[in-house]
Amino acid sequence: MTIEQIGILLRTDLVPRAIKIIQDECHDLTIIEKVGSDGIKKDLTTNGDMKAQAMYMQELKRLFPNYGIIAEEDGVAIEGDGRDGDDIYFTVDPLDGTRAYERNSSQGVGTMIALCKNNNVIAACVGDVNTGDIYGFAGEEVRGEVFHQRFGETKVLVPKADRPLSSQYVLLRSLPSKQTTLINKMTLDKKDGGLFEGAEVGHGSIGIAFARLWKSEIGAIVLDFGFDTPWDLAPIIGISRRLGFKFYEIKDDSLGLTEYEPSPIKVTTKRQHGQLIIHESCTKELEEWMKKQ
């Protein structure tokens, strides 16, 4: 099966099936407590998480027995056989945004899967459980087409490159009081020197949050210091880079930004910096704003 055929399989079969499982299971929800990524904080899983992952695992093992699999639930970490000298593996987040799902939220619940080859994401798919929207791509090129499947139609997703940050909102993943000095300056009212039209705080699925960025519903995302997981990071990196989004490190209370290239990981890792993600078309505007600080 070619990479392109794998992408079609994910977008038209596996992810829609996972969405259906998660939707069906919400009517008889079983909540199970587990330890979070930091090894301390309490987290949740549900029968929706477990059944969606079971489907993914069954199909991936059947169709791709030589590939590795890293999945969120039960610490699944299966090594591939290294055929042809390549490290090829899937990452699976069966239900992204479990707390939003448990709250019966109408947004912020997703399902994500990615295919990694060595140090690159070569296919990825993110599904919105509440709307049925699916975002995905397949191919070894860093830049290229990303498809958006919505209400039965599939179109090429093109971020709006003519919208300045000053006319868009930035999405924060925690309260403004917890942000760094730089982000607090960015989110000031524009008349006071802020960069954006405004800011909002959103939780739930990180994949669905990024989908808002990919389709230009928001202009930027700020991620806090914290933990990166293989199943969250791979699809976000793959689709974002393919669409031309840039990642910047945010250090503690420094007023500087450093652009960097994130890579997929195979184990949960503590990230020592925050992140700002914007589209490449907004780079000049960001640089001009930074010069004034």
Instruction: List per-block mean pLDDT (blocks of 10 residues) for the chain, which spans 293 residues.
Output: 95 97 91 67 82 96 96 88 87 94 92 96 98 96 95 94 94 89 92 95 95 97 91 97 96 82 93 92 96 87
Last residue of a domain, one of 156, 190, 216: 156
* Same domain (yes/no): 62, 149: yes
Q: Specify the CATH number for the domain of residue 39.
A: 3.30.540.10
**C-alpha closest to that of 247 among 229, 273, 270:** 273
Residue 23 CB-density burial (10 A; 0-12 exposed, 13-18 middle, 19+ buried): middle
* Same domain (yes/no): 170, 269: yes
Last residue of a domain, one of 114, 137, 156: 156
Count of domains forming the chain: 2
* Same domain (yes/no): 146, 43: yes
pLDDT tens for 171-184 read 999 888 888 889 99
pLDDT for residue 199 = 95
**C-alpha closest to that of 112 among 98, 93, 89, 128:** 93
Last residue of a domain, one of 120, 135, 156: 156
* Same domain (yes/no): 9, 151: yes
* Same domain (yes/no): 177, 135: no
* Full domain range(s) for residue 236: 165-291
pLDDT for residue 153 = 94
pLDDT for residue 37 = 60
* Same domain (yes/no): 94, 196: no
Helices 15-25 and 47-63, axial angle in degrees (round to 10) = 160
Q: Specify the CATH number for the domain of residue 184.
A: 3.40.190.80
* Same domain (yes/no): 50, 152: yes
Helices 230-243 and 206-214, axial angle in degrees (round to 10) = 0
* Same domain (yes/no): 190, 95: no
* Same domain (yes/no): 32, 152: yes
pLDDT for residue 114 = 98
Cα(17)–Cα(101) distance, integer angstroms: 17
- What is the CB neighbour count within 10 angstroms for residue 207? 26
Cα(116)–Cα(185) distance, integer angstroms: 37
- What is the CB neighbour count within 10 angstroms for residue 259? 11
pLDDT for residue 226 = 83
* Same domain (yes/no): 94, 238: no
Task: For residue 285, give both structure tokens.
Answer: 């505007």
* Same domain (yes/no): 31, 106: yes
- DSSP-derived letter for residue 214 is H
Whether the full predicted model's pTM is greater than 0.75, yes or no, is: yes
* Same domain (yes/no): 111, 54: yes
Residue pair 18/52 in contact by the 8 Å Cβ criterion: yes
